[in-house]
Every structure is written in structure tokens, then in C-alpha cells.
Structure 1
Amino acid sequence: MRKLSITDWFFVLLAVAVVAGGGIMVFAKSAPPMQHQNMGAVVPAAHSDGLSDTESGYRLEPVTTPGARGAAVPVAFRILDSTGKPVTRFLDNQTKQMHFFSVREDMAVFEHLHPVLEGDTWHTAVSLPDGGVYRLFAEFVPLDTADPRHPVVLGLPFSVPGDTTIAAVPAPADGVTATDGYTVQRVDRGELKPLSAHELRLSIRAPDGTPVSSLEPHLGANGHMTGFHTMLLSATHLHPVELAGIPLNNGELSFQAVFADRGEYRLFLEFVHGGKLRRAAFTVGVA
């Protein structure tokens, strides 16, 4: 019997690797959708991040994309399935079938909107006060999803020409002043790690310094928060822990979070108090 040469051993090992890889692939597909295998530990999976216009068999097809500044610049798009057919019905996700975000690369311009469906096309209008490089995101939950808490997020870049005033992304800090003098302070002290479950606890205080005892429902919840990686521009959706209508303990509101990558994230918190929608933005570091 002939001895195996170095070349023979290479192809033997390659064949073993292919077989093993196939087994791993089958195992990964059979794993629960909210789990991620990592060194034997089970942690939640990160959300679809919007860095691509295709994900999970869906594609974002632009119809009208912004190309100029303005207070109400039209945007229109379709969501297509794997056969190219427009999809016009999704599960309600915080009371809406479709969430839409527009963010500039320096995080200084951000909008959260809810497009209206006309025929097979979703329509909205964005406020673009300045030029620069932006990214738009469409977030929805398919009707046949195995996990309604993990939406599909599709994204596309666009740019607005002209002189642009770029702002530095604020560094991670404990406190931030929100709209109308409200302050939001992160009070949890846990270190944030990628692909690990975290609970962010935020203390919300009114302009007079007193803790906000309760919030009015916003999109069927106590609040809404979306984050964006400051370098990659990937999107992260965070889920509120306290149910709508439940009083806050010392003004604290909590969110469940899983961050996919290391780096800094700019988080945009929206909440309703005193009959008005308010927004606070702050930066966290994931290491």
C-alpha cells in the first residue's frame, strides 16, 4: 500500500473539514433563532443590522431616495420577497407594521418615522437640514417569523450634496440632557460586551430634577430605543423591560440590549411625558 504524501494528507484533511463543516451548518440551522453558540455558552443573537438591502429572503427596493435638503423630502420603497413580489403585510411591531430610520454618519441627524403603504409601496418624508452621508433603515417583522422580537432590518446609503457641518460623536458619558431640560442618566454599571445580553437602566428626571414616576405609552410601550454603531452604521433595536403603564421605580426605565460588535453606539431614546414626545441621545462603549 502506497504511503500518503503531503499532498494526499492535505486533501484528506480538507475532506474531513468539509464534512465537519456540513455538520456544523446543520446544527446551526436547527438551533433556536434567539440563541448563538459561543464556546459552549448560549447567549441571545444580535438583531439584523441593516448593513445590507437584503436579509432573510427580503430585499429593500428603493423607489424614491433623498437627493436634496429639505424639511419634508419624499422617500418611497418596496419590500420584496425571494421571488421579487412586493410584501405588503407584516406583524405589528410596537403597534406599527413598518419602522423607518434615517441617520447621518456623524449621528447628528436622526429621524424615526412610520411609512404609509400606498398600493405595494411604502411612503414617508424625511427632514434633512444639512448635507452629508446618510443611511436609511426599514424595520419589520415577517408574518411567518419564528421570533417576533427580532425584526428584519434592511438598509441603504444615500447622500445629500452641498457644504456639510460634521459634528463629533459625543464620547460615552453617564448623563445627557434631553429635550426641554429632561435628563436621562445611565445608572447600570455593567460593562457592555458584544453578543451578550445586557439590561440598560436609565434614570429619567423632569426639568425640576424630580424622578419621572410614570410615562405615557409610546408605540404601545414605555418607550422606544434604537442604536447605531458610530463607525459601521449598523442598527440595534432595544426592547423596553417595564410594561406600558407600570410606574417607574425612582424614574428608572430599563431596556434589553444585545450589541453585535465592539465599538461605540449612539442610542436614541424616545418617551412621552406631559403629552409630548421627547428624545434623548447618548453614547455607550462596547468592549
Structure 2
Amino acid sequence: MKYSITVIAAIAALLLTQGCSSVLKSGETSSQENTTTQIDRDGRSNNNHGGHSNEQMHHNGHANNHQSDRSIITEAKLTAPKNIVPNQSVPLVINIQDSQRKSVTKFDTFQEKLMHLIVVSDDLKIFDHLHPNYKGNGRFEVNANFPEPNIYTIFSDYKPSGENERVNLMKLTVPGSTPVPQDLAKYSNTKILPDTKINLNFSQPNLKVGQEVTLKFDLKEAANNQPIKDLKPYLGEKGHLVIIKSSSPLTVSDYIHAHALKNSPDGQVQFVTSFPQSGTYKLWMQFNRNGKVNTADFWVNVQ
């Protein structure tokens, strides 16, 4: 079967300032088929906790390692079929290039992968976390599934060798009648999966802009409400957390990628982060029980 190809180019320019922080600019391009790519970027900062990976997240959630002022300019180009059918496997190709359109060929592993691809519908109803396969010469490939007609935002999170993490934002449209957005006003702190009950608690009563907060996820057996004892590492940590602010359109500054604290008690996964803006955020916490990755989602409000 032959596909017409729509090429969506997402250009990410990362300019390092002195020390550990970086400043990003914004830009917008549009594809041939009315699929747009918009990239809004803000600063990143580092806070190293004694060599552990339990990093404190600021701004867009990335805590960078101490680097020199040297940095390359990178871009990510997404290639996907023109006409995407819901609930069918869709091949995606992502090419990482420098400002001269030459392939970036070397990448560092972080959280056990060379690239993390976060796919969300713009109403945040749908979430997927993928790990594209690296084929060499800057080319990553992965198959994705888009459950329903919608506008999807794709965050590609990768780390060129010796550089800080980069996040590119790409847009992809699945044609058809888009469902009416769900009501966001549901802030339950409890999520019940088939075999696990997850309670979310905070280190402070109210979430406020710019304030460091510890997010505590208590995991218990759904059957007897006892703390689970079979939690296994996922991506090298006790859990994985993606946070995205509800906004239109979604931008890179709406994306937070947090890391689990190493010293979380048994049956609990903790993350330290901060929220850069007021508003409604959705959290997806992922954890591994007996080789199965589970995802628990929560809405939170930040004042």
C-alpha cells in the first residue's frame, strides 16, 4: 500500500547561557496539508541532588547536567502518512538534524532510551509513551496508534551526545469528527486500576506557581488496600511521570518530565517538581508491576 507522505518539520534551537541553564526561542512552520508545527520554548535549569537522578524540575521540567557553553542547534523532522486512519498502526519517522540540515548521528541514553516520544491529543484525553528505534544517521522509527480523530501533539525528548536534553514539538492531525472535549473539572486524587489503587498526595495543601512540591503516589493492592510489594523498575527508576498543562495550542513550555526520587518508601513513588504557570495540568504516572507497565492519570489545579 502506498502512502502520500506529509513531512512536518519541527525546528528546535537551544542556546546555552552561562553555567547550567539554557534559553530557547520560538517559531512556527506549517506543513503541506494544514498540519502545523508550533514550538514555544522557555528556560531550563539544573539542580543536582548529590549525584542522584532525583532531580528537581523547573520550567519545562528538565534538569540538565552541568555542561560547557558549547551547544549545537538541532531540528527534528517528522514524516508520517498523509491520511491517517484511527486505530491503525501508523509508521512515524523522526530525523534529527543540525542547523545545516546534516544528520545528528550520536545520542546519549537517558532513562534507558535514546528517545522518549510522548503523544497526546490536544484535549489531553489520549496519552501514549513510545520509544522509537534508532536506525542510524539521525533516523528514528516507531509505529504509533491514534485511537480517534483529533489533533495530536508529539513531544520528542532526546539528548545529542554531550549535550543537554532537547524537546521538539510536532503536530499531527487525524481527520474525522473530533469528540467533544471532556469536562476537566474532575480532580479526584484516587485512581483504581484492575489490580492497583493509586492515591496522590502533595507535600503542601495547595499547588502554587513556582513552588517546589513533592508528589507522592501511594500504590496499594486493589483487593485488600495493602501496600504493593512487587513494584519493579521502569526506565531505570521506580516510576515515570509526565505532566502537561491544559492549553490551546500546546507548547513545549507546557511539558514537564519528572524523575522519581530514589529513596521513595516501599509501595510509594515520589517526584519533586514545580509548576511554571497557573492553570490545569494532567499527570500521567507510569509504573511496572511484574513486567506490565501501568498508567494512572490525574488532574491537578495550580494557583
Matched, 1:116 2:129: no
Match of residue 104 from structure 2: 87
Question: Contact (CA 8 Å) 1:106, 1:166: kept in 2 or not?
Answer: no
Q: Quick one: which amino acid aligns to residue 194 of structure 1? A: V
Question: Contact (CA 8 Å) 1:174, 1:187: kept in 2 or not?
Answer: no
Match of residue 179 from structure 1: 193
Identity %: 24
Q: Quick one: which amino acid aligns to residue 59 of structure 2? A: A
Q: Quick one: which amino acid aligns to residue 106 of structure 1? A: D
Match of residue 217 from structure 2: 202
Match of residue 155 from structure 1: 169
Q: Quick one: which amino acid aligns to residue 64 of structure 1? A: A
Instruction: State how far apart, in whole Å, the 1-side matches of 2:299 and 2:153 are.
Output: 19
Give runs of ≥4 in structure 1 deviating > 4 Å. none
Residues 151-202 of structure 1 show CA distances to partners (whole Å, capped at 9, x for unaligned) of 3111111111112223415435242324324221112242323333321111
Q: Tell which deviates more after alignment, 180-189 or 68-77.
A: 180-189
TM-score (norm 1): 0.75
Instruction: State how far apart, in whole Å, the 1-side matches of 2:82 and 2:295 are.
Output: 24
Structure 1: state its 5+ residue gaps.
1-27, 37-42, 50-54
Q: Secondary structure at the match of 1:231?
A: coil
Structure 1 residue 280: Cα displacement: 0.4
Structure 1 residue 230: Cα displacement: 1.1
Q: Secondary structure at the match of 1:30?
A: coil
The 5-angstrom pairing of residues 1-287 of structure 1 reads 29-33=17-21, 34=45, 45-47=58-60, 57-64=73-80, 67-68=83-84, 69-120=86-137, 121-145=139-163, 151-171=165-185, 173-190=187-204, 191-208=206-223, 209-232=225-248, 233=250, 234-242=254-262, 248-249=265-266, 251-287=267-303
Question: Contact (CA 8 Å) 2:241, 2:283: kept in 1 or not?
Answer: yes
Structure 1 residue 56: Cα displacement: 6.9
Query: Greater CA radius of gyration, 1 or 2?
Result: 1
In structure 2, do the counterparts of structure 1 residues 207 and 286 end up closer, same or farther at CA, with 3 Å as the change threshold?
A: same
Question: Contact (CA 8 Å) 1:66, 1:75: kept in 2 or not?
Answer: no
TM-score (norm 2): 0.71
Instruction: State how far apart, in whole Å, the 1-side matches of 2:295 and 2:58 are.
Output: 27
In structure 2, do the counterparts of structure 1 residues 217 and 189 end up closer, same or farther at CA, with 3 Å as the change threshold?
A: closer
In structure 2, do the counterparts of structure 1 residues 198 and 211 end up closer, same or farther at CA, with 3 Å as the change threshold?
A: same
Question: Contact (CA 8 Å) 1:173, 1:284: kept in 2 or not?
Answer: yes
Instruction: State how far apart, in whole Å, the 2-side matches of 1:228 and 1:144 are.
Output: 27
Instruction: State how far apart, in whole Å, the 1-side matches of 2:244 and 2:131 are.
Output: 18
Q: Secondary structure at the match of 2:270?
A: strand
Residues 118-165 of structure 1 show CA distances to partners (whole Å, capped at 9, x for unaligned) of 2432111111110011101100123223x6xxx311111111111222
